[in-house]
A and B are shown apart, each in its own frame.
Chain A
Amino acid sequence: MSVLLQVEDLTVNFALRTGDLTALNGVSFALNEGERLGLVGESGAGKSVAGFAIINLISKPGYIAGGRVLFQGEEISALPQEAIRRIRGNRISMVFQDPMMTLNPVLTIGTQMVETLQAHRDIGPSEAAAIAADKLRKVHIPSPEKRLRQYPHEFSGGMRQRIIIAVALLNDPQLIIADEPTTALDVTIQAEIMDLFLELCEQSRMGLMLITHDLAVVSETTEKIAVMYAGKIVEEGRTGDVVRSPRHPYTQGLIAALPQGEHRGTRLNQIPGTMPTLTRIPPGCSFHPRCPHVMAVCARREPASLPVDYPGGGQGVVACHLFDPQRHDE
């Protein structure tokens, strides 16, 4: 299996009047060809910033302060804007929560899809329209030729999200980055959209980076999970391993806080406090003020990303002093 996307030590800062703020703090992970990865975490954890940083779409006052991104072996983080623009919407596509971030309300779906195609390929309008109709068919929109002549407002929320996915598919990308693609949708429509993602990924061996706050959705659709907290990945591993036997205390707390149909009516496990805002990231491990296993070292030193084993032999990475073999020295 070859590596599709490799993110190494990616760091994003926001330059504010009061000084620099680190929104993404040394994030590393890899995704193989055709693999599906879920990036989960609470709001403000830095998930969207990570998604944008990968395709070099961080705008001022934000800037990429360090690290690199390799896509199919090419260091795309070092490319000039012109070159990365040829990759975006082409080999890497994005799908957002709000379809209107992608769609222009005053143009027909067809016009927009044809324009997107022609921006990347030298093809005529009828050929482009045929590809557009084909992609609408792929996302199961009935009578696509007729639909191409309609405007975004003529579609329901679920249909609009399908159209966005069809737009993302136009140039047959190898990777789709989907940022909360179903968060605004009702549960029955969410299930259909996630089915669609699964089907498309499997059909064409497309990689998927699914960004969401919803662990259950990620656990049903992805093969790998990376859990973010305050700008860092605190745990990464195979989805089944992380969900069944989370190792990082934050992941453990998060999963235990979810009602799972057992012990109905009893108190839920709650993580005390809230995730810190970026201006007040605690020293050491940023989770330490909320951690039930906190040790003296946790407030002093930032934990490194350490390899962990899951029951059953799976391997992952955890940023927590509990897993540091040298810890007792302190």
Chain B
Amino acid sequence: MMNDMNDAPSAQTPPILSVRALSKVFDISGGLLDQLALKDGRLRRVKTTVKALNRVTFDIAPGETFSVVGESGCGKSTLGRTVIGLYPPNGGEVYYGGQRIDVLSPRQMLPFRRRMQMVFQDPYASLNPRKRVAAILEEPLRFHHPELTAREVGDRVKEVMEQVGGDVQWLTRLPHEFSGGQRQRISIARALVVDPEFIVADEPISALDVSIQAQILNLMMDAREQRGLTYMFIAHDLSVVAHISTRVAVMYLGSLCEVAPAETLFAAPRHPYTQALLSAIPRLGKKKSGHVRLKGEVPTPIHLPTGCVFHGRCRYADERCVREIPELLEKDGGTHVACHGVAEERI
């Protein structure tokens, strides 16, 4: 049912996750009084909405580390949360293992809540400060596996604690007694303890120092190997993304610009925005050399530009770009690009 979608990115194996034309809008109108505005001499009620995701389409194959990159506010976290069911979408579909999940009731969603886990950027905010680590890890396990005995729960918790490089002594302590890196290990343990298949990791290392980032990335890569996990990895550090990803999706203002195998993307970015983004990455041991300068600034997702959302900043934009939204089209090497210029082969 998904394969006959026109222009949908296709992976070789059946995808573990498929997202089709996913849209998410936040209503930020506020109270009734805030919504009133004078228009053409009459008082009207005006809704203000943030178009956080616009018809986002992609597939993730089992075992992939699929990264989502883009500048802050482009919709990465919203995408992760909508995919995993924390936010209801306003349009489009999400399939997990071939089954449509965005329409499920909370009860029907239950088994998927175990199979899909999320790790957040801020290990400080995402761990309950009043709970001991043991309770933080046991709770989701008991919830998803009521059949386990107390002893089995304890064994599983210890096992996962060891896997994340923690210590059984951590279990009796409270979150504030740990460093940022240790807390992130605990968040990962909490995700792993229910034995998931798919993890959305939203900037899991952004708050950590370099030497600790490497520890957490290694831990995540090891866990992927040992448990056959699939990741959707949200990040803004492009060097890290280049290192760990199988494929990368580049977002701008809630839309996908380009989806490509990591190696291809970093070697030969196609979309003008991807080109600008990659040229700006600071590189160790390189002299600063000219990066692609973008004119203007990112527009707000409240008033989306017409046509290609990037057209106001793009040096290749023409009249069609202003008028028509470009579709994500497949190019060679498994790359998908949403750009008229690339489609017309003038870029």
Contact = CB atoms under 8 A, between A and B. Distances in A.
A binds B: yes
Interface of A: 42-43, 156, 158-159, 186-188, 190-192, 194-195, 198, 213-217, 219-221, 240, 243-244, 253-255, 257-261, 264-265, 267-272, 274-275
Contacts of A217: 282
B217 to A, nearest CB: 6
Contacts of B266: 261
Contacts of B263: 264
A215 B236 CA distance: 16
A213 B210 contact: yes
**Residue of B212, B221, B236, B239 with most chain A CB atoms under a 10 A cut-off:** B212
B243 interface: yes
Interface in B219-273: 221-222, 236, 238-240, 242-244, 262-263, 266
Contacts of B100: none
Contacts, number: 115
11 contacts: A42-B211, A158-B297, A188-B280, A191-B291, A213-B210, A215-B210, A220-B283, A244-B285, A258-B210, A271-B211, A275-B209
A265 B263 CA distance: 11
B286 A220 contact: yes
A224 B171 CA distance: 45
Given A186-B72, A272-B215, 17 more contacts: A187-B236, A187-B277, A188-B71, A188-B291, A190-B280, A213-B209, A215-B284, A216-B239, A216-B282, A217-B282, A220-B286, A221-B288, A259-B239, A260-B239, A264-B243, A264-B263, A267-B221
6 nearest CB pairs, A to B: A259-B243, A191-B280, A257-B214, A216-B282, A186-B71, A42-B209
A1 B179 CA distance: 45
DSSP class of B's interface residues: helix, strand, loop or mixed? helix
Interface residues of B, number: 41
A294 B239 CA distance: 30
B215 A216 contact: no
Interface of B: 71-72, 179, 181, 209-215, 217-218, 221-222, 236, 238-240, 242-244, 262-263, 266, 276-277, 279-288, 291, 293-294, 297
B231 to A, nearest CB: 12
Contacts of A269: 214
B335 to A, nearest CB: 17
Contacts of B238: 187
